[in-house]
Structure 1
């Protein structure tokens, strides 16, 4: 699989198939119906608006519409888009967005996925390179954003404040123990898995999780730790 899908289908990288007559098809990311004369070999279609969208836009659109309840599946679907690069601050938003979408789908409260937009605003304040310049990986902050939104935490909260800070600390510890240099994909996987276990313990929410994760992005990472990474194939 080509992780960035530089050609072909933006969803899976397979070749496009051009149809003799236009058909109505739902966009994979936003779900809106459009007339199209091109789908990929397995039927994926991406509308022009989503095709042109920057990373944060495609993350928000997909996470506000997906029915998926596994945050790792959501995250990997987004990581496979060309908008989401190997490394970058878009991961600071991707992590809480995937967790929020999965959380409210598990709870049967899809209307509350509007909080993904709030996560986007908060994650925008976390600068790129935070892990090296501030000693706090942005995806760990993303797990704190997620918990603060689902619990309604504020600076004056008691238990909610505790939980949002605790999940950030636990995520950051897990990321730190796996060592540098940074890998946004590895750190995002670690943060999401940590958040899943945290939600089960502290919120009583169980996500369907497709562990173990196998990374297919390593070819694009010059600093890949190879077999020292828990997600490296084999």
Structure 2
């Protein structure tokens, strides 16, 4: 049963995923590009328009003092530029982690790191969890480790760390199964990255004792009790 018509940014209709990508015109900026996704009424919104206002993440993170990336994640998810689902989460996860990492004693230039996260995260398309088999929230944790370590395609140990980080999140998400939930997967991503960064770099970010999802009623595809953060789970 559909619980909340809040998927299309134009008309709030449900999203439809096509078997074959088509040329589509963004309903907001009129850019034409190839995509597998539109709403049931035919509207298409490109990733750039979907992420409009994402720069507001920067100011929130730079003024943040928390060492808990999940707490920072929650704050960022309440901003108008963050929707129930969307490619903005590919920036949001890494921004939360980099901010908490810096506050926990990690040696990075936070503003420079956040700008790099935005630059790389913008290149990760929406819907890749089902179309490419690689969740953007997981990729965001790999970007985080790459920024922290200065990794590149020619790196040795840090190259492995970036890919191991992403794979840990993907494995965790895969055990739960779909359909996707950007809130669930972003939460899993920051929790896995918190443990990974402590193991590899001995930077001890904080984790909440218990997480209860507040988005269940807003997600048409909520998986209910299969989600570890469902309010009805013990």
What TM-score, normalized to structure 2? 0.74
Aligned 8 A contact 2:108 2:148 in 1: no
* Equivalent position to 1:62, from 60, 63, 88: 60
Distance 1:210 1:125, change over 3 A: same
Partner of 1:228: 226
User: Hey, what's the Cα distance between the residues in 2 that align with 1:122 and 1:162?
Assistant: 19
1:112 aligns with 2:110: yes
User: Hey, what's the Cα distance between the residues in 2 that align with 1:159 and 1:183?
Assistant: 32
User: Hey, what's the Cα distance between the residues in 2 that align with 1:204 and 1:183?
Assistant: 30
Partner of 2:127: 129
User: Hey, what's the Cα distance between the residues in 2 that align with 1:170 and 1:108?
Assistant: 21
User: Hey, what's the Cα distance between the residues in 1 that align with 2:111 and 2:66?
Assistant: 12
User: Hey, what's the Cα distance between the residues in 2 that align with 1:174 and 1:106?
Assistant: 25
Structure 1 residue 55: Cα displacement: 4.0
Distance 1:229 1:192, change over 3 A: same
* RCO higher in structure (CA 8 A, sep ≥6): 2
Partner of 2:46: none
Aligned 8 A contact 1:101 1:113 in 2: no
Partner of 2:150: 152
Give RMSD over aligned pairs.
1.7
Alignment of 1:176-195 (within 5 A): 176-195=174-193
Partner of 1:87: 85
Report Cα offsets for 1:17-71 as digits up to 9, x if no partner: xxxxxxxxxxxxxxxxxxxxxxxxxxxxxxxxxxxx9442121221222111110
5+ residue gaps, structure 2, are 1-5, 7-50
User: Hey, what's the Cα distance between the residues in 2 that align with 1:94 and 1:107?
Assistant: 20
Alignment of 1:1-12 (within 5 A): none
Aligned 8 A contact 2:135 2:170 in 1: yes
5+ residue gaps, structure 1, are 5-52
Report Cα offsets for 1:106-144 as digits up to 9, x if no partner: 116574342110000001110010101100000000000
User: Hey, what's the Cα distance between the residues in 1 that align with 2:150 and 2:108?
Assistant: 17
